[in-house]
Structure 1
Amino acid sequence: MIRVLIVDDEPIIRFGIKALIDWGKEGFEVVGEYANGVAALDAMLSQPVNIVITDIKMPLMDGLTLTREVMKLNPSCKVILVSSYNDFEYVREGLKLGVVDYILKHSLEPEELLAALRKCKERLDEEEHEPSASTAEPRGRAHGEPELHAEHNPIEKALEYIGKHDLRTITLQEVADAVHVSKSYFSVLFKKTTGHNFIDYVIGLRLEKAKELLADSHLKIYVISEQAGFNDVKYFSKLFKKNCGLSPIDYRMRYGHGRFDSERGKPGL
């Protein structure tokens, strides 16, 4: 069994985390729950722990300080941060410390917690089969700089995934699952890395797809709207004009290579 410690100053949160999943069925065991980092560290001195799930804001010792101390005590231990605050500064600091995942309390779902735990398990398994990994200098811990590559910054992989999949149906949860991080962590990191919210980024790609179809095809506007991922042609037309400065019809008239139907002599609207 993989041994898990839960640290949060709110009893209801500790109870909620414990109640979210069937720990034993998934190969995990909750070996203790504590209201602050000091008590948690004391417990870790007397028993082995593989994973720590900790709140950030706590009395006596906050979650980030606890993470630093955990890494000193047991560099192979994996940490999952939970917080009420959607703040990239927490994510950034967590990245420096080697935190595996970052989950928002208000959006915490069983699938999200389980995905984070499974990710921890994968890393523990990898390190068990690669002894050199445990003796190497902890990533980003000694000098305070995070390594933002396959593992700690999944955005490059996410962008590649988005580019290869259907823009009409793609969702934030789908992409977060594909790169093995929680949706809240992914959402914050995506915005910080790209400068765009996930949905705004996808809408931008859909509009670019619509431009291509308007310029290079005779498809009706409502068909282009659907193929680009917009279910409502009126919404599509309004959004297109707002972002592109032209209505879809005017855009086709100006930029379409085959903008006139040669048989009818009319715009393909």
Structure 2
Amino acid sequence: MMQWRALIVDDEPVIRMGIKASVDWAAEQIELAGDCANGAEALEVIARESVHILITDIKMPIMDGLTLASRAMAVNPRIKVVLVSSYNDFEYVRQGLKIGAIDYILKHTLEPEELLLVIRKCKELLVEEQRKERLHQRPNEMSVRDRMRFEQELKRHLVHRTEHLPEDGYPSWVMGLYRAMYVKLNRVYAIEEQQGYLFKSVLLDQLVDSFYRVVPNGVAIQTAENELFFVLPSGVPEAVEISKLKQALEKDSDVTVTIGHTTGSGHGSLRECFLASREAAERGFFKGAGIYDHRDPVYVRAAGKRLPSTLLPYAADEDESGIDRSLREWCSEWENGGISPAVLKEEACRVLSLMYKHSVDPYALVESFDRLFKTESLPELSRLLKEQIFELRKHKTEVQTNQAARNPIDRALDYINARYLESLTLQEVADAVHVSKNYFSILFKKITGHNFIDYVILLRVQKARELLVTTDLKVYEVAEQSGFNDVKYFSKLFKKMTGCSPVDYRDKQMASADGFWGAGGNAE
């Protein structure tokens, strides 16, 4: 069996054939995973199979080589990318090298010896990474490469519902006893509103890192926008260990989580354990944040009151006391569970749909649905539904009022661009343009495509990139002058958005500039 696998991507068949014929792949211990005519086709192969070396044209239809390279490295950070370019693609080559490509070759002057040198360079990097993994690997611990492979296969199996895992696609301990844990991030809406989606993504990464520090031989994958799934080998099974793991996760990331857990045996039980632990975690919606064992007895109820029929008459008449009474009765009816939280959230959305479907901006209504589905407890759902009933009525009035005026987002962008290095809040900007906070949030996201805080972060990171290239400031000074108070958070966020640390970004930019002038001669 070949040790490495390579994929060739070019929209010109003659180029693909030329690359395949230029190297004795078997002699190099490389198996060809295939050849593709565009990036989208290639990305499907990379998501499905192990690919270690990607040789891709830059300019292709459907998905270009730079987009492919970026997405391939997101799927497999260890993949080695070689760009195939023409003479007039130099600027694209520079961009490719910045995002992490190893080297490039010129397609119309391709020499077999040149291609072989580049391929061997990729192999040397792969072998060296493998050597370092083995050097730092503990007894009975999976290599990082093997673990990443299992993570990808497990995610496809659970989330995309592939029929089964590959026969060699899992560690040996999965054939014995293990514990499965479904981990839900708490206070999600507050995190998104106050610190942004990007920050939430960093938090999830930190939770995974913390898990691997405590359970280095376990496996962790992200299965939903705010949720993770952990599989632990036997030896970390009981509630006391899970409690300690929860404490470690929350301490490292400064967040709280709710955990549902169960036990399983054999790779054939993984999907069953995934569903069981997720169901256990959902009990937190009724009982509060904590740890829930799927084996614990569950309250079962066959039927109960339906919210739309009991609440709508009071809501239509704007009878606030009637609304409160109806919601209290509804919560009391379901406070012990016996129904899926998703069903209750759908009922709440149904109320808003029946009231406002034909009278408010559909985008605003969908945003309200999104907020309702992000609630984490029955009392929170009840409270937010009441708020949304009155907010959407106010939103309808504000839309009519602002139609003749200059778009408040135009004024807001001026305000933000002048002050994004300061400690801005959503409420402050909404007040500055004289609209309610909720209406401003909905309108801002609709027009810009970003929520407020993520837009501010994008501006700050762009400022940081400029400072890293144009000044000699230290990283903590760059962070301060870009509006970030926490240099550790700044560094993680910067890497999340650019693919490299601030120091590496500066080095790459300087190296690219030196290489450009070195290759081009005089800088006149």
> What TM-score, normalized to structure 1?
0.53
Correspondent of 2:498 among 113, 125, 143: 143
Q: Percent identity over the alignment?
A: 51
User: Which amino acid in the other structure matches residue 124 of structure 2?
Assistant: E
Deviation, 1:22, is 0.9
**After superposition, where does 1:103-182 map in structure 2 within 5 Å?**
103-131=105-133, 142-143=497-498, 147=505
Say whether the 8 Å CA contact 1:88–1:189 is kept in structure 2.
no
Say whether the 8 Å CA contact 1:96–1:141 is kept in structure 2.
no
Aligned to 1:161: none
Deviation, 1:90, is 1.4
**After superposition, where does 1:84-103 map in structure 2 within 5 Å?**
84-103=86-105
Say whether the 8 Å CA contact 2:84–2:105 is kept in structure 1.
yes
Correspondent of 2:516 among 179, 188, 192: 192
CA distance in 2, matches of 1:148, 1:100: 18
Aligned to 1:15: 17
Q: Residues 91 and 122 of structure 1: is their aligned pair in 2 closer, same or farther, counting only changes over 3 Å?
A: same
Aligned to 1:76: 78
Which secondary structure state, in structure 2, belongs to the residue aligned with residue 57 of structure 1? coil
Q: Residues 33 and 141 of structure 1: is their aligned pair in 2 closer, same or farther, counting only changes over 3 Å?
A: farther
Aligned to 1:216: none
More helix by proportion, 1 or 2? 2
Q: Deviations over 1:96-122 (max 9, x none)?
A: 211000111122111111111111111
Calculate the aligned-residue CA RMSD, in Å: 3.2
5+ unaligned residues in a row in structure 2: which ranges? 137-143, 149-208, 210-491
Aligned to 1:46: 48
CA distance in 1, matches of 2:50, 2:44: 11
Say whether the 8 Å CA contact 1:88–1:192 is kept in structure 2.
no
5+ unaligned residues in a row in structure 1: which ranges? 156-187, 201-269
Q: Residues 148 and 106 of structure 1: is their aligned pair in 2 closer, same or farther, counting only changes over 3 Å?
A: farther
| Number of residue pairs the alignment of both structures matches | 163
CA distance in 2, matches of 1:85, 1:95: 16
> What TM-score, normalized to structure 2?
0.28
Aligned to 2:314: none
Deviation, 1:91, is 2.2
Aligned to 1:34: 36
Q: Residues 19 and 73 of structure 1: is their aligned pair in 2 closer, same or farther, counting only changes over 3 Å?
A: same
User: Which amino acid in the other structure matches residue 52 of structure 1?
Assistant: L
Say whether the 8 Å CA contact 1:98–1:141 is kept in structure 2.
no
User: Which amino acid in the other structure matches residue 104 of structure 1?
Assistant: L
**After superposition, where does 1:187-266 map in structure 2 within 5 Å?**
192-194=516-518, 196-197=520-521
Deviation, 1:129, is 1.9
CA distance in 1, matches of 2:33, 2:64: 20
Correspondent of 1:5 among 7, 15, 35: 7
Aligned to 1:249: none
CA distance in 2, matches of 1:6, 1:80: 10
User: Which amino acid in the other structure matches residue 114 of structure 1?
Assistant: L
Aligned to 2:27: 25
Deviation, 1:144, is 5.4
Q: Deviations over 1:46-97 (max 9, x none)?
A: 2111001000111100000000110111000110000123443212211221
Say whether the 8 Å CA contact 1:101–1:116 is kept in structure 2.
yes
Aligned to 2:350: none
Q: Residues 72 and 85 of structure 1: is their aligned pair in 2 closer, same or farther, counting only changes over 3 Å?
A: same
Deviation, 1:153, is 9.2
Say whether the 8 Å CA contact 2:85–2:93 is kept in structure 1.
no
Name the larger-Rg structure: 2
CA distance in 2, matches of 1:190, 1:27: 35
CA distance in 1, matches of 2:495, 2:104: 17
CA distance in 1, matches of 2:57, 2:28: 22
